[in-house]
Chain A
């Protein structure tokens, strides 16, 4: 089997401006939704109590809501979780030290209303922990960005590092934009997925950059645009197949992983799709506009240049 029977290099860079325009619009839309709607943060970040309650029959959400309201707890969210029998109840952090007891009072009230109610899971997070998690998440993001940039700058060149990071942060913002637009719940596993996607889609850029470097060395007569087009064309089959395989795994999580892994898998799916797009169209184009040249990549490697047949040519660890 061969899905990719490409006769000539595809002129990706000819349309770079249009494609990046689309990218920019998506990005701005994501930023707009992030600010206008905000993320629907899980209790892990906001602090509060979360209860998953199972019933023997389909749960009556409005009855549950009124039972909880009767306890005098404000701003309660009640929704189905996974199946019709399972209910997720979210309560914001209450003032006073009794927050830890909240789940017990609520459960007692629910049991009184319907004896089949059984507690499957509770989670209580104090507000101080929530703030910390948010700052830790930002720290982790900063660490990844700086770490990847440093690595790419050492391994390639600063222009590549900047291009890769812009392209992939734009992925991250777009994932967050989706979560803001649809008001999907942003929880800790989703944060983990977002950071994993960041590391993963940088791979994509790295593969293309690797090829660009190799091409600069191999095809002395091509200009930068041709070299980039060739690099993307010759790696496109690998890009699609790899992402397809990862997506198969993620799809399996989406289908079999249940409600807990749902948003995690969803974040990965968006990340993988936009990862392809941004690596192919955005990263390479930005690198081009930043003005990468043959000299940028080949300087300091004069000795190696004399041996173009060395398969490890250009590899440095």
Chain B
């Protein structure tokens, strides 16, 4: 009656083995490392870069433990923090000869010491949260109202020029909050204005107000279009943040959307919050200027002559110098969108720019006068300008739709479009939550969490072994398996472990023992009532199961609520709590039953069970070690 079939034992064994394997990387700890990744999307890491890193280290007389190329980064591991810092400088000097314009991000990181065969099985240690490793956490709120107002402003401009083209006379177009108001006197004009808006401005909903002979058309942005504006604003801000954070040299930054209008930025290991904040909040500007191409400029480009008056020297992204006039034609404010795409005739890769009405007008005038000349699009960040692209004007461009094409790969087109879009934040952001944790505090928190779990576990295990003897030992082993599986699952999911998460781990172990206490008490009770040992074990497990299930479901409901409504620290707690309840069902019931069955199940004439004292009210108490069963 107390036997498991072979396949059940097989499942147990496999589960414990896999659990052990995936929990194993956590045992090795982490070593200081230097991580190299690309700072510009157009660059790629390859084996050549790995060799450069290795040579740089050799030249500096530093022996790395391991240098490996792993997806998008090269990681070099070192024995101590001192060597790590030296190595970072050496690598940084070798890869980024021009410190002002780095091509690679060289960052400090921690790397698991687990052997390569474990990593090749994708077994990696749990991801430590900021409170355990130190770092900065920001939550930024994007001002969506500002994004919508900006959109309304540009639509008002567009409307103005469209009405001029159609010769619709109006008494003024103005933006009022997020709506555009158009005043018209003539009924015929009202009609044609409405038709125009229907045809050319599908994003607007129009309401009509007649007031003292004057008709006021109030156009507001449609809900769908507004949502799209907000999504784009958020996406653009995230892209911009990505570019800026690359500069900070953070090994594993997390930049995530949260909710509809928030962005969470986590920078593990960064201590300089002031600098981080400065970089996050910085605004980049985009400028369009004409390229100076006289003979003097040519000479200046090659470096043989001085830069002509009224011009400046900038570098293109590939490092080629360009001499650009100081006069600004357009700024990023007039650029509403930039998307990669293809030329409709030549099928070459291209970047499509969309300008607002004012931009389109200026652009048309400028291009009409300068066919055959080059114009430069510059991106200014931190006061440092860079030429994103400098195309030749082929013909007059009207209508605000500009295409840049020629000698571009699809990849380059995508990069350029991204840079142009990232040039400015779509909407202003505000830091609404900030958390900084120093690295020493992180290490202390790990020790605190670890000690809590270890000592709590030891105390419970000692008590169980004393009180329930062999059954207590089995319960303790089951509890250890629970911990093992929990750590394994967390490692497999690469869930973030935080200090509240470690607290949840301790708590869930304390709660998980409940299942075994229930079972053991039930078995004792059956024995007390005179059941045979085998029958008592069987009945004990079976009767306890319904109760265990009930109590775990109620605990799980609380866990899920925390997961659904919690944020930050509560979420870390809830993840571990929920997973722990699930693994405890497996280990507390299925695994411990397996061990009991394995131990006692084969004995046909089982006389006694080692479960501690079975006291009987009639005085017929069992011995301290075991109780005689009635056969």
Contact = CB atoms under 8 A, between A and B. Distances in A.
A in complex with B: yes
Interface of A: 1-2, 5-8, 44, 52, 54, 97, 100-101, 103-104, 118-126, 128-129, 133, 136-137, 139-141, 143-144, 147-148, 151-152, 155, 188-189, 191-192, 195-196, 198-200, 202-204, 206-207, 210, 214, 234-235, 237-238, 241-242, 244-253, 255-258, 260-261, 264-265, 268, 311-312, 314-315, 317
20 contacts: A1-B613, A54-B440, A97-B430, A104-B274, A123-B435, A124-B431, A136-B565, A148-B554, A151-B554, A189-B503, A196-B555, A202-B554, A207-B551, A245-B517, A248-B460, A252-B451, A252-B459, A257-B449, A311-B543, A315-B546
B455 A189 contact: no
B617 A7 contact: yes
Interface of B, secondary structure class, is helix
A189 B573 contact: yes
A258 B456 contact: no
A264 B500 contact: yes
A220 to B, nearest CB: 18
Interface in B454-488: 455-457, 459-460, 463-464, 466-467
Given A122-B273, A140-B565, 18 more contacts: A1-B613, A143-B565, A151-B554, A189-B503, A189-B573, A191-B570, A195-B558, A196-B507, A199-B559, A200-B511, A238-B518, A244-B463, A245-B513, A249-B452, A255-B452, A260-B445, A261-B503, A268-B507
Contacts of A152: 554
Contact of A144 (B430, B437, B525, B557): B557
Contacts of A252: 451-453, 455-456, 459, 506
Contacts of A260: 445, 448, 499
A129 B433 contact: yes
Contact of A124 (B433, B463, B521, B617): B433
B1 to A, nearest CB: 11
Given A250-B507, A268-B507, A118 B452 contact: no
A8 B617 CA distance: 8
Contacts of A235: 521
A121 B436 contact: yes
A261 to B, nearest CB: 5
A2 B624 CA distance: 9
Contacts of B612: 1-2
Interface of B: 139, 141, 273-274, 277, 430-438, 440-441, 444-445, 448-449, 451-453, 455-457, 459-460, 463-464, 466-467, 499-500, 503-504, 506-507, 509-511, 513-514, 517-518, 521, 525, 538-539, 542-543, 545-547, 549-551, 553-562, 564-570, 573-574, 577, 612-615, 617
A141 to B, nearest CB: 8
A307 to B, nearest CB: 13
Given A136-B567, A203-B514, A314-B546, A253 B506 contact: yes
B440 A120 contact: yes
Given A148-B554, A261-B452, A317-B549, A249 B460 contact: yes
Most chain B CB within a 10 A radius of its CB, from A141, A200, A247, A312: A200
A252 B565 CA distance: 28
A155 B460 CA distance: 31
Contacts of A5: 615, 617
B554 A203 contact: yes
B577 A196 contact: yes
Contacts of B518: 207, 238, 242
Contacts of B568: 44, 188
Contacts of B500: 189, 192, 264
Contacts of B504: 192, 196
What are the 4 closest A-B residue pairs judged by CB atoms, nearest first?
Answer: A199-B558, A249-B510, A252-B456, A126-B432
Interface of A, secondary structure class, is helix
B469 to A, nearest CB: 9
Given A120-B438, A143-B564, A311-B542, A246 B554 contact: no
A265 B549 CA distance: 26
A246 B510 contact: yes
A188 B569 contact: yes
Given A143-B565, A258-B448, A312 B546 contact: yes
A258 B574 contact: no
Contacts of A245: 460, 463-464, 510, 513-514, 517
A98 B562 CA distance: 32
Nearest to A254: B452
A129 B556 CA distance: 27
A312 B543 CA distance: 6
A198 B617 contact: no
A251 B273 CA distance: 36
Contact of B555 (A100, A121, A200, A253): A200
Contacts of B440: 54, 120
A140 B434 contact: no
B456 A136 contact: no
Contacts of B557: 143-144, 147-148, 151, 199
A122 B550 contact: no
A169 to B, nearest CB: 13
B503 A253 contact: yes
Contacts of A155: 550
A127 to B, nearest CB: 9
A124 B434 contact: yes
A241 B467 contact: yes
B503 A1 contact: no
B566 A140 contact: yes
A155 B617 CA distance: 33
A188 B274 contact: no
Contact of A248 (B456, B467, B542, B562): B456
Contact of A241 (B441, B455, B521): B521
A246 B432 contact: no
B567 A248 contact: no
B532 to A, nearest CB: 14
B282 to A, nearest CB: 14
